[in-house]
Amino acid sequence: MGIKPLITKDFATENLEQLAVYEKTGGYSGFKKALEMQPDALVELVKASGLRGRGGAGFPTGNKWSFLPKGVYPRYLVCNADESEPGTFKDRYLIEESPHQVLEGILIASYAIGCNLAFIYIRGEYLPQTEALEVAIAEARQAGYLGKNLLGKGYDIDVILHRGAGAYICGEETALLTSLEGYRGEPRLKPPFPAVKGLYGKPTVVNNVETVCNLPAIVLNGAEWFKAIGTPTGAGTRVWCMSGHINRPGNYELENGTPIRELIEEHGGGVWKNRKLKAFQPGGASMMVLLPEHLDVGLDFDAIAKAGSLAGAGAMVVMDETTCMVDAARRYVKFFHHESCGKCTPCREGTFWMANLFDRFEAGEAKPGDIDLLLDIGYNIDGRSFCPLGDASTWFPRSVIKFFRDEFQEHISEKGCPFKKSLQEAVA
């Protein structure tokens, strides 16, 4: 496979973050064209394109837009830039390289759903990226892409950039809205979905940064053009964040359906230090581990789900033969424990006990029944938590127990981490 990148195609252009340069590459012509269309036609176009949300769940974007109840205003668009899934750094890249593309996508989505005030919720850690967007917003306002009666078409739009302050849970859309309203970032019960009752109780669409970045090209080139890229149920491309034991970590935009092997071996230059691939994780901290036998699976929501994992937020964490899978799982579990908002018991208490157990394995204090105890705790969190954070905290550790149970056994029988011991012996 392999085509010209779609949303990163101009990223080699110098100073693309500047408005004048972005306009020279065709920037904002998608928004201008959108303003010539009826908003409903725009929603139909995005529906027909088959674009699915790039934030993790893969929900069809056009459908999400069409759920807004008729005649209820004001409506809000919120761009989710709270990228915090361990292993992901694509939204950061998209904002740094081309903040105006993000903004143009937001303007198109806002016009389509009839929103006059949009928000960008960016994670607190992304200070340079917040500044890049601040500059872009100021430039766009100056140039007349933001404000009243845009391009003489009678459409008003403003964008508020809202910086979060360190909470992974705020990437979950209802928690994000609660946080944007000024409260503690706790998720809300669905339904009602944000489309019906979202920000300030008004109809709201939450779209990921990468999702909105696809909109200018879809408006310019049409639904059929977009649909022809990728797979039948996964139109377009995705930006994959590759990290871990790989020769060339970084962001790679590839057509959906490209084999995982091509991403890891060709673009990433293969596993580092001439070592063997042990496992990889195709979607960030939440997602189940996959094995070398899954290398020919395509990079696509449905294909990866069929293989037993999830494409999630588009991270590819590569682990070589020296990786202690127990320690990798321990880090993720501690992360979820740290980030659990505390609202529901299964997640708040369950992640705490899982983290405790993993520390016992690491310290060499685990007992023979502890593997099954971990599975039992996982079983009692998954599907019983208020929001997906709790559920997702169990997927990676449980998949690691499924495929690497012997490593847990070794931690018990050798009273500690066998990988660290062999490392110490090698050094001594």
Q: Which stretch binds other proteins (CB under 8 A): 43-51, 58-66, 166-174, 220-228?
A: 166-174
The tokens describing 390, both together, are: 């709790």
Considering only the C-alpha atoms of the chain, give the largest distance between any 2 of them, rounded to a whole number of Å.
75
Residues 327-356 that bind other proteins (CB under 8 A): 327-328, 331-332, 334-335, 338-339, 341
Q: Does 415 interact with other proteins (rule: CB under 8 A)?
A: no
Residues 365-394 that bind other proteins (CB under 8 A): none
Pick the closer one to other proteins by CB: 190 or 331: 331
Residue 279's beta-bridge partner residues? 319
Rounded CA separation 191/211 (Å): 23
Q: Does 25 interact with other proteins (rule: CB under 8 A)?
A: no
Rounded CA separation 298/328 (Å): 24
Shortest Å, Cβ 176 to other proteins: 12
Name the region of 314 (left: φ>0; alpha: ψ -120 to 50; beta: rest): left
Name the region of 349 (left: φ>0; alpha: ψ -120 to 50; beta: rest): alpha
Shortest Å, Cβ 191 to other proteins: 22
Residues 175-194 that bind other proteins (CB under 8 A): 179-185
**Size of residue set near other proteins by CB under 8 A:** 81
Residues 148, 135: contact at Cβ < 8 Å? no
Rounded CA separation 236/180 (Å): 30
Options 41, 72, 160, 228; binder of other proteins; rule CB under 8 A: 160
Q: Which stretch binds other proteins (CB under 8 A): 3-11, 64-72, 224-232, 345-353?
A: 3-11
Q: Which stretch binds other proteins (CB under 8 A): 65-73, 104-112, 293-301, 319-327?
A: 319-327
Residues 53-112 that bind other proteins (CB under 8 A): 74, 83-89, 92-93, 96
Q: Does 426 interact with other proteins (rule: CB under 8 A)?
A: no
In the chain, the amino acid numbered 308 is G
Residues 355, 337: contact at Cβ < 8 Å? yes
Q: Does 200 interact with other proteins (rule: CB under 8 A)?
A: yes
Shortest Å, Cβ 152 to other proteins: 22
Pick the closer one to other proteins by CB: 18 or 63: 18
Options 46, 254, 271, 401; binder of other proteins; rule CB under 8 A: 254
**Non-local CB neighbours of 17 within 8 Å, separated by 6+ positions:** 96, 97, 98, 99, 100, 132, 135, 136
Q: Which stretch binds other proteins (CB under 8 A): 105-113, 242-250, 376-384, 386-394?
A: 242-250
Residues 216, 101: contact at Cβ < 8 Å? yes
Q: Which stretch binds other proteins (CB under 8 A): 50-58, 132-140, 290-298, 382-390?
A: 132-140
Q: Which stretch binds other proteins (CB under 8 A): 43-51, 56-64, 126-134, 296-304?
A: 126-134
Rounded CA separation 192/227 (Å): 31
Question: If you ran DSSP here, which 8-state letter would residue 125 be given?
Answer: T
Options 33, 162, 348, 421; binder of other proteins; rule CB under 8 A: 162
The SS3 assignment for 334 reads helix
Q: Does 39 interact with other proteins (rule: CB under 8 A)?
A: no
Give the C-alpha distances (Å, rounded to integers) separating 145 from 36, 119, 161, 205, 219.
Answer: 14, 15, 16, 21, 17
Q: Does 292 interact with other proteins (rule: CB under 8 A)?
A: no
Shortest Å, Cβ 335 to other proteins: 5
User: 408 φ, ψ to 5°?
Assistant: -65, -45
Shortest Å, Cβ 393 to other proteins: 13
The SS3 assignment for 115 reads coil
